Amino acid sequence: MFSRELKFPKSKSFFLFGARGTGKSTLLRERFALERTYAIDLLLPAVEERLARHPDGLLSELRSLPLGIDTVVLDEVQKVPKLLDVVHYYLEHEPRPLRFVLTGSSARKLKKGSANLLAGRAFVRDLYPLVIEELGEQLLIDEALAWGTLPYIFALNDDEEKQDYLSSYVRTYVSEEIQREQIVRNLDPFRRFLEVAAQYNGKIINNSNIAAGIGVDPKTVAAYYSILEDTLLGHMVLPFSHSFRKRLIKSPKFYFFDTGVCRAMSRTLSVPLRSGTSMYGETFEQFVVPQIIHSLRYRHPDAKVAFYKDENDIEVDLVVEIPGRPLHFIELKSATSVMESYIKSLKIVRKDLPDATFELWSQDSIRRSIGGIVATHWTDGLRSMIES
C-alpha cells in the first residue's frame, strides 16, 4: 500500500479524476470508512443501466440511507452524466448533509456534453501515477523508466506480466475510453496516432508531419492531442515566453503521463533500455518531467511548467514558475557523472535572466557547483523544489 500525496477537501464534495489504473478506488477505500460510505459503481452494467433509465431513482436512494452514512461515492460518474443534476438538486434542497465524491477517468464527456459540474459546489482533484514521495525506497529508476509507476505494476512479478498488463492497458483505453464513449468515430487513424505520438513523447510537436504520416489533417492531430489531455494520459508543455527580445519556438511539447504506457503505445516494451544510450537519456527526461508536473500539481497547483528553446537552438528542458519565487530553469541529464558541457545552455540563458534560478539535475549523487550553477541529483532537486 502506497501513501498517496493527493489531499482531499476536508468537508466539501469533490470530483476525483484520473486515468484508469492510477488507484482512485483504492485511495477512496483507504481514506473513507466503509461503514460511513455509500458507494455506487457505474462500471457495473446493471447499475449503469438502472440509473441511466431512471436518474431520479438516485434521490430516493440518498433519502433512504442509514443515518451513519455521511459520504456518497459515485464511481465513473461520466457514464451517467444526468446523475450530476440529481446531486446538484440534493445539495441545494435536501436538509441532510452528505458529501459527494464523484470519480471518473476524465471530465471530457462531462464537459463536451454540457453536464452539470455542480456550479462550484464541488472541488476538482486529479490523481496521477506514483511520484517519488509516494514510492520512497521502492523507486528503482531503471524499472520506472521501463515500466512506469502505475500502482498495479508493483504487484506484478516479472517482465512478461508487466508487458501484458501495459499492452492490455492500451487496448482497454482504445476500446473503453475512445470507442465505447464514441470520442472518435474512425479508430484506425487514432490507433496510428497513438503510436506516432508515443514516438514524439517529449519532443516538439509538428502536427503537419504527424498528420501526413497517419493520413489525416493537422486539425485532427490537434484534436487527438486534446483527447489525450482530456483523458489525463499526458500534458501539453508550452514553450517559455518572456518580454526580452528573442525569437522563441512557439510549438509545444507533449509528455505522456507514464513511461510504461508510452512504451506500450510505441510497441517498444521488449526493447531494453541501456544506460548511456540516447534512448535511455530520452526516456529519463520523459519520466522526470511528468514526475515534476505531478508533484507540483499536488503541492503547488498554481505552478506553471514550460520549456525554453530559441532561434539559435539554445534549449533548456524545463522552466518552472511557482508564484512568489524566481523562475527555475532545469536541465535534465541521465548521466551518473556530470560535466561542465552540460550547463552550456543554462549559462547562455542566465545572461538574459540573471535573477532566475538555474540547476542541472542528473543521476550524479554528489551535489556541486559548476560555473556557478548547482548540479544535484534529480530526486534531491525535485524534493527541494516542492517542499520549500
C-alpha grid cell for residue 113? Answer: 456534453
User: Is residue 7 in a domain?
Assistant: no
**3-class DSSP state for residue 76?**
coil
pLDDT per position as a tens digit, 307-330: 999 888 899 999 999 999 999 999
C-alpha grid cell for residue 221? Answer: 492531430
* Minimum mean pLDDT range among 49-63, 167-181, 238-252: 238-252
pLDDT per position as a tens digit, 343-354: 999 999 999 899
Q: For the chain, what percent of residues have pLDDT higher than 70?
A: 95
Q: For the chain, what percent of residues have pLDDT higher than 90?
A: 79
CA dist 109 to 117, 183, 220, Å?
Answer: 11, 8, 18
Same domain, 123 and 222: no
User: Is residue 1 in a domain?
Assistant: no
Q: Does residue 114 have a pLDDT over 60?
A: no
Q: Does residue 241 have a pLDDT over 90?
A: no
Q: What is the pLDDT of residue 250?
A: 84
pLDDT per position as a tens digit, 61-105: 999 999 999 999 999 898 898 898 899 999 989 999 999 999 988
Burial (CB < 10 A; 0-12, 13-18, 19+), residue 312, is exposed
Q: Which residue range forms the structural domain that includes residue 114?
A: 13-127
Instruction: Compute the average pLDDT of residues 253-273.
Output: 97
User: Is residue 8 in a domain?
Assistant: no
Q: Which of residues 127, 159, 181 is at a domain's end?
A: 127
Q: What is the pLDDT of residue 180?
A: 74
Same domain, 117 and 161: no
Same domain, 233 and 251: yes
pLDDT band at 154 (very low <50, low <70, confident <90, very high): very high
User: Is residue 20 in a domain?
Assistant: yes
Q: Does residue 356 have a pLDDT over 70?
A: yes
Same domain, 222 and 323: yes
Residues in the chain: 388
C-alpha grid cell for residue 156? Answer: 506484478
Long-range (24+ apart) CB contacts under 8 A made by 21-26 are 21/150, 21/151, 21/152, 21/169, 22/127, 22/128, 22/129, 22/150, 22/151, 23/127, 23/151, 24/75, 24/103, 24/127, 25/75, 25/103, 26/1, 26/151
